[in-house]
Amino acid sequence: MPGFFVSGMHMHHWQPSASIDTLQLRAALLRRVREFFHERRVLEVETPLLSRAAITDPNLASAEVRLAGLADSFYLHTSPEFFMKRLLAAGSGDIWQACKVFRGAEQGQWHNPEFTMLEWYRLGFDHHVLMDEVAQLLRELVPGLAGEERLTYAEAFDRYAELDPFAATRDQLEAAVGRFGLDPAGLDRDALLDAIASHVVYPQLGHGGIAFVHAFPASQAALARLDDDPRCARRFEAFVNGVELANGFHELSDACEQRQRFEQENDRRKTAGLPQMPIDENLLAALEAGMPDCSGVAVGFDRVMVLAAGTGNISEAMTFGFDRI
Amino acid sequence: MSSYDTSQFRAGLKIMIDADPYTIVENEFVKPGKGQAFNRTRVRNLKTGRTLEKTFKSGEVFEAADVVDTDMQYLYFDGEMWHFMVPETFEQHAADANAVGENAKWLKEQDTCIVTLWNGVPLDVAPPNHVNLKVVETDPGLRGDTSGGGTKPAKLETGAVVKVPLFINEGEVLRVDTRTGEYVSRVKE
């Protein structure tokens, strides 16, 4: 291939992965986001990217950081949630933030190890009211989102995978994943459900509009309250064109239960041969002091940009995708 | 022997799956929010030629398949095996009917082919995209005869039969596209 090769890098490597037009649109959308929350009197905050604690969820890998001269380990956050909840417990009122978050080993058309999370918390909202607000914001940022539908996790599975995610037997789930060539050995029930959701159910959601899925299985919602039906948690996700844009919860505020869930996650890490992660004792202390009843949501801002700008993948929606750093 | 994990997957990577060598055709990273991550792939079995859909748990590790494509000169057919030689090293390899398959009819002595070796044994033989072959048998072709759509069959020196224009005669050398099996042009050799 003709062209200059400097130290083995392609001649375009130094350039941004997004076009200048896309970057101008991105700046315009961020201005609109700021206006949106200002109008609603939601306070903009900035919380640290570094923490001494890490996320215990076995499906998330925290980036470890060594600071010169310090023996301790620090971690880059996978979401600003823990610090933001500490602010809520301190009486901040409604808060929002757009910040970089880091998730190891996640790279693809819709994943970049470093990406921008737009996250906010609303006192006194339940998750249904928060879904209304997510829909309002998405409509301001992405043109052409005409329809909206809301369905439970069970309804989505029933309609698109012909399965009852709560009652299906292990055999039925194994048969379902076999259809796309996944070996079910070593995968627990939630992993099988994740496979079916991501391969079969989610790709069919939100075409031409926004689809909200709520009432997730309780085992898949570590930071949410349980629903009236205790098999379900008050968690929701938003989809457009088969892509997951947002993940929200009516937040759990019971410190004991939260500690238990963190410990269970560390147990699952141990079983999977993954390292134990330090639990965020500051978060638990904040919950003990009392976090007001609220709902919170995290939106993948770069994915919203992909839809708004019409780029083919997430790298083209940010200045420098992971391949260009 | 080296190994790869799913984060290294890309089109063209050759790995072992269930004791067979495969090449990755497509790879997609899939992860539902806060859930288990997967790699959704289309892979081709290099032994059988079949392409299938496979999903793997992210982080799964695979043995690299010792599959190498090498340019080799076709030497001869001994009745059972087709013999090839790597020009620089004079190393010889014998490919069986499975490896050669339908391409037997395009092999002309001295032509350079791409031979895929798996653990040092020919797995697949790809002839050059175009070959020049002599016509050994064809009807004279009457002018104005459009009954065959303006073409007639011609048998070439390797046994391949292609459709050719009516003006082609026995003894002429033709350029043929091996991928489509179609006549391209006459060649002056």
pLDDT digits (tens, 9 = 90+) for A160-203: 999 999 999 999 999 999 999 999 998 999 999 999 999 999 99
Cα A248 to Cα A234: distance, rounded to the nearest angstrom: 8
Its domain, for residue A44, covers: 20-146+208-324
DSSP B25: E
- Which chain B residues are closer than 8 Å to A198 by Cβ? 30-32, 35, 38
Its domain, for residue B143, covers: 130-187
A162 Rama sector, left if φ>0, alpha if ψ -120 to 50, beta otherwise:
left
Instruction: Say yes or no to pLDDT of A7 above 50.
Output: no
Q: What share of chain B is helix, strand, coil (3-state, %, to 5)?
A: 5, 55, 40
**Sheet order of strands, B161-165 included:** B161-165, B151-156, B130-138, B173-177, B182-187
* Residue ranges of chain B whose CB lies within 8 Å of a chain A CB: 7, 28-38, 40, 52-59
Answering whether pTM is above 0.90, one says no
How high is the ipTM of this complex?
0.80
Is residue A274, in this structure, part of any structural domain at all? yes
So what's the pLDDT on residue A6?
Answer: 42
Q: Let me know whether B32 and B59 are in one domain.
A: yes
Task: Say if the Cβ atoms of B58 and A197 lie within 8 Å.
Answer: no
Q: What is the pLDDT of residues A47-71, one digit of tens each?
A: 999 999 999 988 888 999 999 999 8
Task: Say if the Cβ atoms of A180 and B52 lie within 8 Å.
Answer: no
Give which of B150, B187, B153, B151 is closest to B172, Cα–Cα.
B187
Residue B133 in contact with residue B174, Cβ under 8 Å? yes
Closest partner residue to B29 among A107, A187, A195, by Cβ? A107
The counts of H helices and E strands in chain B are 1, 16
Nearest CA to CA, how far is B31 from chain A (Å)? 7
Is residue A214, in this structure, part of any structural domain at all? yes
Is residue A312, in this structure, part of any structural domain at all? yes
Q: Let me know whether B104 and B143 are in one domain.
A: no
So what's the pLDDT on residue B172?
Answer: 94
| Domain's final residue, options B63, B85, B113 | B63
Task: Say if the Cβ atoms of A194 and B32 lie within 8 Å.
Answer: yes
- Name B22's bridge partners: B15, B45
| Domain's final residue, options B63, B83, B111 | B63
So what's the pLDDT on residue A1?
Answer: 40
Q: What are phi and psi of A55, to 5 degrees?
A: -80, 135
- Which chain B residues are closer than 8 Å to A181 by Cβ? 52-55
Task: Say if the Cβ atoms of B35 and A180 lie within 8 Å.
Answer: no
Q: Let me know whether B13 and B36 are in one domain.
A: yes
Q: Let me know whether B119 and B135 are in one domain.
A: no
Long-range residue pairs from A222-225, CB within 8 A, at least 24 positions apart, any chain: A222/A57, A222/A261, A222/A262, A222/A265, A222/B34, A223/A81, A223/A249, A223/A251, A223/A252, A223/A258, A223/A261, A224/A127, A224/A249, A224/A250, A224/A251, A224/A252, A225/A249, A225/A250, A225/A251, A225/A252
Is residue A169, in this structure, part of any structural domain at all? no
Average of pLDDT values for A30-59? 96
The structural domain count of chain B equals: 3
Residue A297 in contact with residue A246, Cβ under 8 Å? yes
Is residue A253, in this structure, part of any structural domain at all? yes
| Domain's final residue, options B126, B150, B173 | B126
Residue A120 in contact with residue A137, Cβ under 8 Å? no
So what's the pLDDT on residue A221?
Answer: 84
The structural domain count of chain A equals: 1
Closest partner residue to A198 among B7, B38, B59, by Cβ? B38
So what's the pLDDT on residue B189?
Answer: 64
- Which chain A residues are closer than 8 Å to B37 by Cβ? 59, 105-106
DSSP B131-164: EEEEEEEE----TT--TTTTEEEEEETTS-EEEE
Name which of B4, B28, B43, B55 to mutate to probe chain A: the one with the most chain A Cβ atoms within 10 A of its Cβ.
Answer: B55
Task: Say if the Cβ atoms of A181 and B54 lie within 8 Å.
Answer: yes
CATH number of the domain within which A262 lies: 3.30.930.10
CATH number of the domain within which B140 lies: 2.40.50.140
- Which chain B residues are closer than 8 Å to A107 by Cβ? 7, 29
State whether the Cα torsion A44-A48-A53-A54 is positive or negative.
Answer: positive
Percentage of the residues of chain B whose pLDDT score is greater than 90: 78
Is residue A292, in this structure, part of any structural domain at all? yes
Task: Say if the Cβ atoms of A111 and B35 lie within 8 Å.
Answer: no
Residue B168 in contact with residue B185, Cβ under 8 Å? no
